């Protein structure tokens, strides 16, 4: 049983379109100039296209034995037995038994984000914590 938790489609589309639009704008600037700034615009456009593609894939995958955090630069696999709890404080996080804390890039926002933009992160953290508690009641990932 795998459960995929990701931001709602509207949030992912806004991010995707904004990054693609800015990337196209930078690419247009790069193609219209023959100055050293051209190379900066090309690098900026490439970074926007990378961020658009990677941002679309950000998610949490809840598996039988592990929780996978697909973040911006790496994917973290955390065994259920190591997870102490999930929470939200502007970003969804996972606290492990050894006191390490991992953030979930899919549900990060600034402290100044509007309430409707923070809501998916709060709901994701609550759902993940509910799954953790349910697994614990059923005998999976018991406290040691």
pLDDT by residue (tens digit) across 43-95?
A: 999 999 999 999 999 999 999 999 999 999 999 999 999 999 999 988 999 99
- In the CATH scheme, what architecture does the domain 59-137 have? Roll (2.30)
Strands 75-79 and 83-88: unpaired
d(CA 138, CA 62): 16
The residues, any chain, with a CB within 8 Å of residue 17's CB and separated by 6 or more, are none
Report pLDDT for 46.
97
Task: Tell me, rounded to whole angstroms, the distance of Cα 144 from its chain centroid.
Answer: 29
């Amino acid at each position: 049983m795998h459960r995929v938790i990701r931001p709602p489609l509207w949030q992912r589309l806004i991010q995707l379109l904004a990054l693609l639009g800015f990337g196209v704008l930078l690419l247009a600037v790069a193609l219209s100039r023959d100055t050293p700034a051209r190379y900066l615009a090309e690098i900026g456009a490439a970074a926007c296209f990378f961020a658009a593609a990677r941002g679309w894939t950000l998610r949490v995958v809840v598996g039988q034995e592990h929780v996978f955090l697909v973040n911006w630069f790496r994917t973290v696999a955390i065994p259920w037995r190591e997870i102490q709890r999930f929470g939200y404080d502007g970003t969804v996080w996972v606290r492990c038994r050894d006191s390490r804390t991992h953030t979930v890039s899919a549900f990060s926002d600034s402290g100044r984000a509007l309430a409707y933009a923070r809501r998916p992160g709060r709901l994701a953290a609550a759902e993940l914590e509910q799954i953790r508690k349910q697994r614990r009641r059923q005998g999976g990932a018991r406290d040691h």
